Structure 1
């Protein structure tokens, strides 16, 4: 049973939802990230969703863009971010850890090397919002490398997706499906509405 399966089963038995905070590793500093993430778990986080800072986070609004900027300015990079994840995994062996990051950070080391880094550091899932469903379907390397390394490849379910698209997402997604409640970047609108 994966960490996500165990977590969701435990929460279902208690009739509770999951508290999964997002944090950009390296904000405010790489050293402080371990302390902050530890405090989040000790304070009740059921799982973590972590960002590796990127210079052009196009799907994110001003709050996460500023977080990425602060992290990059503090010296955060992919290597030291994975080191923080390793330390968190050692301290909290049962807490699911997911990455939400951009495809350039995957292409830089190569898809195979990236998923190996995820496995070696204890990452459970990866969500890459700028990798479209069509690429996942046409390029088997994504699923192959994720599966080979025991990492769940999570996909976005947009609010305007039709039944056929949702079926394809479900077929290609593992761990959980990330449901978007509205279109647009994060942190801009204050209210969710029905898709048009």
Structure 2
């Protein structure tokens, strides 16, 4: 499993094992290079030792429109300390080397693949060891070329199933997502702001 370029396979193996034990997955989100590369690796080692089943990793970006103040702060700290896409890729390589069987899902904003080129972007992250990539500001209706480039590189494309999504949107999410689907149970950005309306997760999953 450590040499595969099929990004969905680590997720499938993990979910099958958890299903046999009737357990859910512990999936912490961590920002790469926050506040530094060294600190980032220490945090990642700590959460894996504490039982993380999957690592969801962010790449610092200047305009994280889908995130609230807490995660925005992690983007800014990392960027202020010199974070780049290239040194984020280096961290992914190090993480894959240290944790060869842990599924790694990436959350990366759309400017990165647009700037680097879709094929190069997915090849780089796939070769570094990423299993899946979610691009939160690319809706599934625009996702076909991203999914095609991802699968060509052996990376599982992941799309968001919004709260109260239409049947057409959910069909697209199911068609293009591999490995897992990112189901959203609340409107608004990440965080705890009171104006966002929350649905029960059971309701969201049932809608999918």
Matches of residues 29-178 of structure 1 in structure 2 within 5 Å? 29-137=36-144, 141-178=145-182
Structure 1 moving runs of 4+ over 6 Å: none
For residue 79 of structure 1, give the secondary structure of its aligned residue in structure 2. Answer: helix
Give the equivalent residue in structure 2 for 1:181.
Answer: 185
Paired with 1:164 and 1:56, the residues of 2 have a C-alpha distance of: 29
* Alpha-carbon distance, 1:12 to partner: 0.4
Paired with 1:15 and 1:98, the residues of 2 have a C-alpha distance of: 22
1:20 and 2:24 are equivalent in the alignment:
no
Contact 1:47 1:95 in 2 (8 A): yes
* Gap regions ≥5 residues in structure 2: 1-7, 204-208
How large is the Cα RMSD of the aligned pairs?
1.5
For residue 108 of structure 1, give the secondary structure of its aligned residue in structure 2. Answer: helix
Give the equivalent residue in structure 1 for 2:199.
Answer: 193
Contact 2:27 2:54 in 1 (8 A): yes
Q: Deviations over 1:48-81 (max 9, x none)?
A: 1000000010000000001100000111110001
State the TM-score, normalized to the length of structure 2: 0.88
Paired with 1:103 and 1:46, the residues of 2 have a C-alpha distance of: 26
Paired with 1:96 and 1:70, the residues of 2 have a C-alpha distance of: 25
* Gap regions ≥5 residues in structure 1: none
Q: Deviations over 1:141-191 (max 9, x none)?
A: 322211111100000000110222211210111111000001100013368
* Alpha-carbon distance, 1:35 to partner: 1.4
Q: How many residues align?
A: 192
Paired with 1:72 and 1:103, the residues of 2 have a C-alpha distance of: 17
